Structure 1
Amino acid sequence: MILSKFKYDLYQKTATIIEKRVLALGLAGLVFLPALASQRAFADGLFQENIQGSIAGRNVELFVRINPPVLTTQTQQDAFVQLRLFEGNNQTIRYTTFVMEISKVTGSGEDVLMAPDAFHTESGLLTLKIQPQEGPVQVLATREAILDAWKADLGGTINIKGPVLLDGGLYHFRIDVIGVDSAKELLPPDQVRTFDTYLSVGDVITQDVQYQGKTYPATIISYYDKVKDFKFDANTKTYSWSMPFNWDIKRIKSATSMFVHEEVRIPKSFEGVGDAMTFDASVNGRPITGGMLSLDPFTDENNLILHFLVNKNEILRLEQQVPATAREMEFAFSPASNGSKQQTSGEIATDTGGMLVLLNWTPGQLAANRNATLDLEFYDAFSGNKVTDDVTYDLRTFGPDGSQVHSLAGQVAKDGSDSQTMMFPEDAAYRIEVDVKGVTAAGQQSLDLTRNGIARGTVVIPEFPAGAIAVVAGALGSMIMFHRLARKTLA
């Protein structure tokens, strides 16, 4: 592990002090921290997680939470980043010291907003209250005497003012756990573990488009970088825009995970667009289907919402087709060509991009007032691998008017697979939601929350389902053969 100059100086200074204290007081030796089992932090839109590991034979977890869970430039407000290291019995580990660095991800790399600095909490709870504003970063706290680290108040809070979370885009929080159990001792440098977490602030733009003498607003929220070059072609009803993106293949491959999320809101009053059921969509000219485009006509009674969800696997495939000079990611969508009909979803992705859910109905011909079996299989969206642990989820369906038809809470997909028997009361297009609540690995008691999110799709009665597990699994198999990824952090 390569330490920054700050960390090196901190270790040198602390080591000298500790050496003197040990000689004088006979303090115990350093605590050793073995490699953590998982260092993945939350992805775009994911607001909390538990990361499991161990310290000197003690099972521990690092809890990370962001509040509020969704930030945009339109609703700029204070944000709270909470960290808590605790044992398997839920006992918080006191006297924890972190080194943190905060950067803004750009099209060409990262701009450091807060250089690496140390933060110490006696209680074991650390909350960073971030107040976005122009100017340099200011930490409003006092330094701990021995470690020269910023010390949290009695409630575990440290206030930070500066450009962190000020503009739309992706922010990288690099967190090193460098000390536990003591305000006088640090872990050896080679035992320090790094946790990379990424938080998105949605860049919001709203522009009016003209069609047949009427004006319709269009809102785009980019959770990766700033929106550029928004256009609307009235002849084809095509919306398009771009954002800065670094297509360097080495950078993409070196990122342990990557996820791009674009959200679009179109008024339902825009006939032929806002009331459309299917769309043709593309990223850098390449058509996208399945889980990469999610349609939500239910959440907002006035607007149709579309989500572009592009994970690292898809970005790698796109990279093979974009010109070497490309510096942007380009998005476009329009109502589907004549003859396209709304179809039952066979593959849906969670809104955080962490999980793919494959849906297969039996019998193949769905009909009202007849029992049908829904088979669900859960796949890790970042690697394309089937989840073999137990997945806890809620399943809901809604009618055309938004009324709830089914509500199945606390369901468990053993080894990533499950089935449900359902009946729909009438011929209609229904919304289906699979709300992933957590994943439980073998031998673990707590839930892994890193892939939580809601996957939305459609069930059309009567209709042959568009996707079958065998077909989609074949496509996933090709994707896995294309590139096998280790899933850890967003970048």
Structure 2
Amino acid sequence: MRFSKIFLLLFVLGIIISMGMTNAFGHGLGSEIMLPVMLGSKFVTLEVSSSQIPDTETREVSLNLFDLDTGITLKDVTYFVIAKKGNEQLFEGTFQRDDGILLMYFVPTGSKQVSVEEQSTDFFGSLVGPNEIINVKGSTFSSGGLYSFKIIITTAESYSNIISPAINYDVGISIPDRTYYDVNDVNFGRQQLSVISYYDLINDDFSYEPLMKKVRYSMPFDWSEENIKQTSVMHQELIVPKTFGDLMVKSLSANVNDLSVADDAITIDDFSYEYRIVHLVLSQNELLQISNELQNPSNKIEFAMMPMEANLPLSTVTGNGQFRINLSWEPQNIESGSKTRFLFDIMDIFLLDRPISVSYDLSIIHDGEKLFQKSGVSTDSKTEHNTIEFLIPNYVTGPIMLQFENLDENSLASASLPVVVNRIEPNQLPTQISVPSWVKNNAGWWANDQISDNDFVKGIEYMINKGIIKTDDTPSGSDSSQKIPAWIKNNAGWWSEGQIDDKTFVSGIQYLIKVGIIKVS
């Protein structure tokens, strides 16, 4: 044991000598243990950690100077701290800690002015934690991002023990920040995506490209080698609702500043019943490699995530985390009034996604109506798929849901995957649309059941006559008794409120007329 401790100390000393530096750096994580330094006859190091206080919006950041050999926190430590967020200095101050632990609470408030208040803990709190807390309050703490700290330690083990030269650390701590984005998709309707960044705040340039099914966004980033060597890892999360079928494919790829990254940089977490979490993690070496390949690096890092070249199969995991389900179909374009052959595999995650023979219940649902149901036992063959054939009713268009339940007779083993009937491709959308306001008002009233289907159809007929909606084969006759899917009314309401643009809504109506779902004279 003594030999191993001596070896560790010599190893660390070798690192310090070889780096030839007195300052230590770290960037971009929620926790950092800094490079050890000599203090008298011992090696000491600083741990900087950050975490969310449960059930609050308050974030805590703690500094702890400890003996590397024993793990014991040093007493009587004096910290001088300068804190910044981006280029804005938040506060600076000198803090003495008898117990050696500096604990700061970042508290979001409505004030743009940052205030710093020291608070003593009660007797019982001091038994399990630090004696004092620094409350730092301001509106800037309502969002996450990259916080940088200049930390200078001037005393340790005794306030009379002045450290010369002082221990100097530059630390970057990332506080996760989540931003939400509404995507109005012509096939799957309104979907809310979100991004969690573990580095810095996202720029205001998030976009979804329906043709490539690609998500794009960027955030500030310094591509210099000096900065990257302070960045241990770059971690981003894209949160996708499982109702957005185009992003529920088995495999996704990623680009950074238009350069491809390795497939293993992306990990898909489908263990939530409602959401898919796509992790994009880049190591320091990968960031350096990208930096070397960039000709003229900008001051931002640009992310793009999209399906791999093959858009199928779709894939998800059951709510109990035991089974993975892959789904594909033939033909690729599912149309009303035609037969579709669905192919699916049920695999055991704990057996490394090996196909497994289990009982299941399968339903096909459209607008809350169960169109099809079947109970069966899946195959464990690696070369054969489970299949069903289904005749899509003439009135069905838009998203349908394949719902798997009671796998292996477990009520928690369920999952759903969405597919689209009568898919509208982005290149089928009209280039420019201008719709009179009264037509949009009619759509809103119709969505709220204030006018009849016939009144709504009059607005559609007007758009056809004016060439706003173009269709060659329009079924004749206005039929108010026809079954119009509920999602059309939802879209009409969103359109009237400006949540769906004219082009998207009109193209959807145009297709519904073409396939006979909506009939006009």
Q: CA deviation at 1:290?
A: 2.9
- Of 210, 213, 216, which residue of structure 2 is paired with 1:240? 216
Q: Distance in 2 between matches of 1:215 and 1:69?
A: 33
Q: Secondary structure at the match of 2:278?
A: strand
Cα distance in 1 for partners of 2:35, 2:227 equals: 24
Quote how far apart the aligned CAs of 1:320 are.
Answer: 4.2
Equivalent residues of 1:41, 1:198 under 8 A apart: no
Q: Do 2:36 and 2:43's aligned partners in 1 also have CA atoms closer than 8 Å?
A: yes
Match of residue 285, structure 2, among 309, 313, 322:
313
Q: Which has the higher contact order (CA 8 A, sep 6+)?
A: 1
2:253 is aligned with 1:280? yes
Out of 258, 262, 265, the residue aligned to residue 292 of structure 1 is 265
Match of 1:113 in 2: 90
Which residue of 2 is the match for residue 99 of structure 1? 80
1:427 aligned residue: 354
Rounded Cα–Cα distance in structure 2 between residues aligned with 1:60 and 1:302: 46
Aligned-pair CA distance for 1:332: 1.7
Match status 1:260 vs 2:260? no
> Are residue 78 (structure 1) and residue 58 (structure 2) matched?
yes
TM-score by length of 1: 0.53
Residues 1:202 and 1:182: Cα distance change in structure 2 (over 3 Å): same
Further displaced range: 79-88 or 318-327: 318-327
Q: How many equivalent residue pairs?
A: 306
Once residues 299 and 135 of structure 2 are traced to their aligned partners in structure 1, the CA distance between those partners, rounded to angstroms, is 36
- What is the CA–CA distance in structure 2 between the aligned matches of 1:246 and 1:41, rounded to whole Å? 15
1:336 aligns with 2:308: yes
Could you tell me the percent identity over the aligned residues? 19
> How far did residue 339 of structure 1 move?
7.2
Partner of 1:176: 152
For residues 49 and 301 of structure 1, do their structure 2 counterparts lie closer, same or farther at Cα, with a shift above 3 Å needed? farther
Gap regions ≥5 residues in structure 2: 1-12, 17-21, 120-128, 324-348, 357-379, 384-521
Aligned residue identity for 1:228? D
CA contact (8 A) 2:37 2:45 kept: yes
Matched, 1:46 2:30: yes
- Indicate the SS of the match to 1:80: strand
- Does the CA-based 8 Å contact 2:145-2:177 persist in structure 1? yes
**How far off is 1:53 after superposition?**
4.8
CA-CA distance at 1:102 after TM superposition: 0.9
How much does 1:297 deviate? 1.2
Cα distance in 1 for residues equivalent to 2:352 and 2:283: 36
Give the conservation status (yes or no) of the 8 Å contact 2:77–2:96.
yes
- 1:85 counterpart letter in structure 2: L
**Cα separation, partners in 2 of 1:154 and 1:250, compared to 1, 3 Å:** closer
Find the aligned partners of 1:197 and 1:328 in 2 and give their Cα distance: 17
Check the 8 A contact 1:205/1:227 in 2, yes or no: no
Greater Rg, structure 1 or structure 2?
2
Does the 8 Å CA contact 1:95/1:123 hold for their aligned counterparts? yes
Tell me which of 272, 275, 285 is aligned to 1:303.
275
Deviations 1:231-253 (A, max 9, x none): 22222322222223344x36546
Does the Cα contact within 8 Å between 2:31 and 2:47 map onto a contact in 1?
Answer: no
C-alpha change, 1:315 and 1:100, in structure 2 (3 Å) is: same
CA deviations 1:110-135 (Å, max 9, x no partner) are 332224x2110112222112223433
Q: Does 1:167 align with 2:143?
A: yes
Q: Are 1:324 and 2:296 matched, yes or no?
A: yes
Give deviations 1:147-178, integer Å, cap 9, x for gaps. Answer: xxxxxx98132222235534332111222221
Closer/same/farther in 2, CA of residues 97 and 425 from structure 1, 3 Å limit? closer
Question: In structure 1, what is the Cα distance between the partners aligned to 2:157 and 2:15?
Answer: 17
1:55 has 2:39 as partner: yes
Cα distance in 2, alignment partners of residues 287 and 36 from structure 1: 33
Question: Cα distance 1:222–1:461, how it changes in 2: closer, same or farther (>3 A)?
Answer: farther
Higher helix content, 1 or 2: 2
Q: Distance in 2 between matches of 1:256 and 1:424?
A: 39
CA gap of 1:404–1:165, structure 2 versus 1, over 3 A, is same
